[in-house]
Amino acid sequence: MPAEGEDGLFTQSWFPVCMSSEVGPGELRAEKFLDGKVVVYRGEDGIARVMSAYCPHLGADLSIGCVVENRLQCAFHKWEYDTDGQCAKTGIGDRPPHTAQLYKFPSQERYGLVWAFNGDEPLWDLPDFEYDDDDIIFRTFRLPALFNCDPWVFAANTPDMQHLKAVHNIQFNVDDPHESVDWSDWGFRYKIIAAHQQGIPIEWTL
């Protein structure tokens, strides 16, 4: 199985791009994404957006630009890109060419993260838990170093009953719950009733 991007292609999925706390109102930042670079910025409306990072005019790096109201302004000739990525104005006031458009990634902000979908339209929404977001306690942090590993390798542990038993010492009360896995087009869910380490009873939905 090729690693992400090894064949020039990346999985179509939601990817976390940065933490919400890292891009305040009126701020922007550069992030590596899909073997390239994007700009994440937050305008006056408080919405974080993810755009391609290079100005269609002469290719300046937009991450050294600034945020004006809800627009992203290029540092070089002050062209400004609106919330759809379209150039809305130029620095000297002439009409911007309609081809001056940044690629705008579908994005969402949830669980303390800014997410971008690799594609024109998201194929599915971010996963929900069984509770309102306000009733969930979550903690978001950057790891001190990058794992040299594709994200799917981590995700693949979740349906791996051997992993649950051998690595986490979970003992199922019944047979391995392969048959209770509920598959959907883009994911799956299943419940386990089991004992965790030291016999602690658990009832989880994964």
Q: Which residues make up the interface to ligand FES (CB under 6 A)?
A: 55, 57-58, 60, 74, 76-77, 79
Q: How far is CA 18 from CA 29, 131, 142, 193, in A?
A: 9, 24, 9, 35
- E strands, the chain, where? 14-19, 28-33, 36-42, 48-52, 66-68, 71-73, 80-81, 87-89, 104-105, 107-110, 113-117, 171-172, 182-184, 187-189, 191-195, 201-205
Provide, rounded to whole angstroms, the least separation between the CB of residue 129 and ligand FES: 42
Of 75 and 126, CB closest to ligand FES? 75
For ligand FES, the closer CB: 55 or 192? 55
- Least distance between ligand FES and beta carbon 40 (Å): 18
> In whole angstroms, how close is the CB of 57 to ligand FES at the nearest point?
3
Nearer to ligand FES, 79 or 105 (CB): 79
Beta carbon of residue 17, minimum distance to ligand FES (angstroms, whole number): 22
Classify residue 28 as exposed, middle or buried by CB count within 10 Å of its CB (0-12, 13-18, 19+).
buried
Between 72 and 113, CB nearer to ligand FES: 72
C-alpha distances out from residue 113 to 22, 79, 103, Å? 9, 28, 20
Find the shortest distance in angstroms from Cβ 71 to ligand FES: 12
Nearer to ligand FES, 58 or 123 (CB): 58
* Closer residue to ligand FES in complex, CB, 100/161: 100
User: Which residues face 86 on adjacent strands?
Assistant: 101
Residue 111 CA to residue 140 CA, distance in Å, equals 8
Least separation in angstroms between CB 55 and ligand FES: 3
How many C-beta atoms surround the C-beta of residue 114 within 10 A?
Answer: 25
